[in-house]
Structure 1
Amino acid sequence: MVTTQDIQVKFFRAISMLSSPLEALVQELAPDALVADIFFPFANDVAARHGIPRLTFHGTSFFSMCAADSVRRHRPHEKVSSDDELFLLPGLPDKITMTRPQLPDELKISVETDFTRLLKRSYEAAGRCFGMIVNSFYELEPRYVDHYRNALGKRAWHIGPVSLCNRNLQEKAQRGGREASVDGHECLEWLNSRGPCSVVYVCFGTHDVQVLG
């Protein structure tokens, strides 16, 4: 039976085949920088060979990056005795607790697989790149932007909210049937007007490469 992990491994192996076409594209366009999704670890080497910085694009949030860093660094889920027991994510600005079932599989299993090795290479490459570009904005999660930059000592720029389907400002302002400014202030006002636990945020992620000229 084909598992989800089998499909993921094949997908990431297919992504690795983009290395040569990306090399040719950078050679042709001679860009000033290369922005690549976190799952393109080979982008570091391509950028280095052409003497340009590689920046990693992260499509979720500063909070998720800080939380994942806490789990990888401290392994708090290994110190509880059951899946129902809460554990604290150390070192974060707020008291964040989780249970083991809430973690992604690659953080829970102790045995390395092809999939976890692929993820490890991706995160290691992201850690060595020039900096991180995040689909977020400062007012949404200021404590975690500051934590990522200052406590973890990493370069990062928030450029969100990023929308690739609506290109011009007029279309962006009309999304959802209400006006929203590009800097996100009206978005925060709308969120603050909702009741507790009444808004669901869903992110399906992305896999893309962008070249900055």
Structure 2
Amino acid sequence: MDCETQHQLNVTFLPYPTPGHMNPMIDTARLFARHGVNVTIIATPANALTFKNAIDTDFTHGYHIRTQLLPFPAAQVGLPEGLENIKDGASLQLLSGIGRGISMLKGHIELLFQDLRPDCIVSDMFYPWTVESAAELGIPRIFFYSSSYFSDCGIHSIQRHRPHERLVSDTDKFTIPGFPHRIEMTPLQLANWERVSDKVTDNFGRMFESERRSYGALYNSFHELESEYEQLHKSVVGIKSWSIGPVSAWVNKDDGQKINREHKEELPEEPEWLTWLNTEQNDSVIYVNFGSLTRLHHAQLVELAHGLENSGHSFIWVIRKKGGNEKDNSFLQEFEDKMKESKKGFIIWNWAPQLLILNHPALGGIVSHCGWNSLLESLNAGLPVITWPMFAEQFYNERLVVDVLKVGVPVGAKENKFWAFSDEDNVVGREEIANAVVELTEKEEGREMRERARKLSDASKKTIEKGGHSHNNLIQLIHELKSLKISKAVTEAS
């Protein structure tokens, strides 16, 4: 074995199969490979297909990156072949099948770790048991958190102090203890597992306890965005952490021009929405997209459509077609025809080249569910946000955007509920939606938010350049892992 191979750092990445977790981890793995690390990503076949092109391209450019495939036990959990990602769970039954399938992979993954013998495991938060796997191999385990420091610190604080339990009503406000800013929330805005103790609470407990027992944590965030919460994380969780975000902007940075070119080449002639956008004034169009896991009830779709129309502002709305839901489809079809006629709005079905749209000069803001990746993309593009959190840690992210960064207008979402459990009562009305759009686009506060968002955009571009915080953090982490590998080899040899 030559010296180079001996000192080559081998890192195995284990992503969790849902877009909000998987995409940033794949981007992170690609960044490691671009900095000389030998990278292996463990994934099931259908999930691996979603990032195959990116990995193949990196490999042809000479980077050491590959995917190690694991068969998904579809038949054993009664699922059709190819349903392996949480985003494909269109019903509770499918979701629980996918979840069961994922947990059945544990033994196979542990055997893979033994075979691969990596120098480090970067594991998604949803695999707490990888702490033990890494300990058995005598290597560091890095906890990968796919959201903000702010939300992680919020969850730790609520679990420790339980401030919501002293309130009479679920709609009363409490203040998050130990935070540098005064942050108020209501019990209804917490995820169900945070409010009431159940089996899920135990699972999350194990997860956050595994973070404390990890060698360190990786965050897709950047110092200029939430430095105070980066600090707080160190004292609350007590481990090192490295902010290396925004990873998607970083991994696509050098081919930013290329991406736009490729997107345009992929698009048959200029698409209708782009022709329409090109006629709109700068900073005037609102982009509406709720990510891959949100499904809106009919009553909510109707309110949203009317709210956007009543605001008097142009918008682009990305909607996933629902199979067989006639009521939704016919309403949206009529709405789309009406918008085409008035030229005030544009609907894109199923998928949109989000980065291309966000960076268009006509864009003035985004309506977001406050998923972390979407927020990073809008801030990277310098756009303020109309915040509409739905579930999970999104209500914490809303408070970061509105109260700390001051680049967001809340639409007034009151309850933390995953779509599969929510009901038609819990609807945000058209007035609130229209008012939020008007505040963002016409009021002085909105103008100030746009200014702040542009400053954050500059910072997010600088941090991933040579000498920037995120850039330095990644280099430093790789050096540290290399030193650990060398000292382990020395100890074993003596």
Structure 2 length normalisation: TM-score? 0.34
Which residue of 2 is the match for residue 177 of structure 1? Answer: 359
Partners of 1:36 and 1:44 in 2: CA distance? 9
Shift in alpha-carbon separation, 1:117–1:8, aligned structure 2, 3 A? farther
Which residue of 2 is the match for residue 116 of structure 1? Answer: 201
> How much has 1:93 moved relative to structure 2?
1.0
RMSD: 3.5
Which residue of 2 is the match for residue 52 of structure 1? Answer: 139
Amino acid in structure 2 at the alignment position of 1:197: G
Shift in alpha-carbon separation, 1:116–1:151, aligned structure 2, 3 A? closer
Which residue of 1 is the match for residue 229 of structure 2? Answer: 144
Taking every aligned residue pair, what percent have the same amino acid on both sides? Answer: 35
Which residue of 1 is the match for residue 187 of structure 2? Answer: 100
Which residue of 1 is the match for residue 127 of structure 2? Answer: 40
Partners of 1:81 and 1:127 in 2: CA distance? 33
Does the alignment pair 1:190 with 2:382? yes
Partners of 1:32 and 1:70 in 2: CA distance? 33
Which residue of 2 is the match for residue 89 of structure 1? Answer: 176
2:214 to 129, 137, 152: 129
> How much has 1:149 moved relative to structure 2?
1.4
Which residue of 1 is the match for residue 158 of structure 2? Answer: 71
Gaps of 5+ in 1: 201-211
**Number of residue pairs matched?**
191
> How much has 1:131 moved relative to structure 2?
1.4
The answer on whether the counterparts of 1:23 and 1:46 sit within 8 Å (CA) in structure 2 is yes
Question: With CA pairs under 8 Å and 6+ residues apart, which has the higher RCO, 1 or 2?
Answer: 1
Cα deviation, 1:89-134, whole Å, max 9, x if unaligned, reads 1101110110011000001113x23x23222222222221111111
Partners of 1:26 and 1:151 in 2: CA distance? 30
The answer on whether the counterparts of 1:87 and 1:99 sit within 8 Å (CA) in structure 2 is yes
Cα deviation, 1:25-49, whole Å, max 9, x if unaligned, reads 2222221100010010111111111
Does the alignment pair 1:156 with 2:348? no
Which residue of 1 is the match for residue 103 of structure 2? Answer: 16
Greater displacement, 43-52 / 18-27: 18-27
The answer on whether the counterparts of 1:38 and 1:126 sit within 8 Å (CA) in structure 2 is yes
Higher helix fraction (1 or 2)? 2
Structure 1 length normalisation: TM-score? 0.75
Which residue of 2 is the match for residue 204 of structure 1? Answer: none
Greater displacement, 10-19 / 79-88: 10-19
Shift in alpha-carbon separation, 1:78–1:55, aligned structure 2, 3 A? same
The answer on whether the counterparts of 2:212 and 2:237 sit within 8 Å (CA) in structure 1 is no
> How much has 1:169 moved relative to structure 2?
2.4
Shift in alpha-carbon separation, 1:53–1:143, aligned structure 2, 3 A? same
The answer on whether the counterparts of 1:15 and 1:40 sit within 8 Å (CA) in structure 2 is no
SS in 2 for 1:160: coil
> How much has 1:171 moved relative to structure 2?
3.0
Larger radius of gyration: 2
The answer on whether the counterparts of 1:16 and 1:42 sit within 8 Å (CA) in structure 2 is no
